[in-house]
Amino acid sequence: MRIVHLTWGFGVGGSETLICDVAMGQAAEHEVCVVACNRDIDPAAARRIAASVRLIILGRPPGSANPWYLFKLILCLWRLRPQIVHAHQQSFSLLRRLIGAPMLLTLHNTRLHLGRGLAAFDAICCISEAVRVDVESRAPGHRLTVIPNGVKFNQLRHKSRYGGRPFRIVQVGRLDHAQKGQDLLIRSLPALLESSQAGNVQVDFIGDGASLGYLQRLAIDCGVDDRCRFLGALGREAIYEALREYDLLVQPSRFEGFGLTVIEGIAAGLPVLVSDIEGPMEIISNGPLGWCFRSEDTADLSAKLIELVTLSAQPGFADLLLGRLERARSRYDIKVTVRRYLDEYATLAAATAPLGMKG
Residue 184 CB burial class (10 angstroms; 0-12, 13-18, ≥19): buried
Which pLDDT belongs to residue 355? Answer: 41
Q: How confident is the model over 347-357, as pLDDT tens digits? A: 998 887 654 33
Helix (H, G, I), strand (E, B) or coil at 12: coil
Pick the closest to residue 252 from 309, 177, 200, 318 (CA basis).
177
CB neighbours (10 Å) of residue 2? 14
Distance, CA of 277 to CA of 257 (rounded, Å): 9
Assess whether pLDDT exceeds 90 at residue 293: yes
Which pLDDT belongs to residue 323? Answer: 87
Assess whether pLDDT exceeds 60 at residue 203: yes
Q: Kind and range of the H or E element at 265?
A: helix 260-267
Pick the closest to residue 164 from 193, 202, 194, 192 (CA basis).
202
Q: How confident is the model over 84-117, as pLDDT tens digits? A: 999 999 999 999 989 889 999 999 988 899 988 9
Q: How confident is the model over 240-266, as pLDDT tens digits? A: 999 999 999 999 999 998 888 999 999
Which pLDDT belongs to residue 208? Answer: 94
**Total-model pTM:** 0.85
Q: How confident is the model over 217-240, as pLDDT tens digits? A: 999 999 999 999 999 999 888 999
Which pLDDT belongs to residue 358? Answer: 39
Contact 171, 203 (CB under 8 A): yes
Walk me through the domains of the chain, giving residue ranges and CATH numbers: 2-150+333-352 (3.40.50.2000), 154-332 (3.40.50.2000)
Which pLDDT belongs to residue 44? Answer: 79
Pick the closest to residue 151 from 261, 272, 39, 306 (CA basis).
261
Q: What is the mean pLDDT of the chain?
A: 92
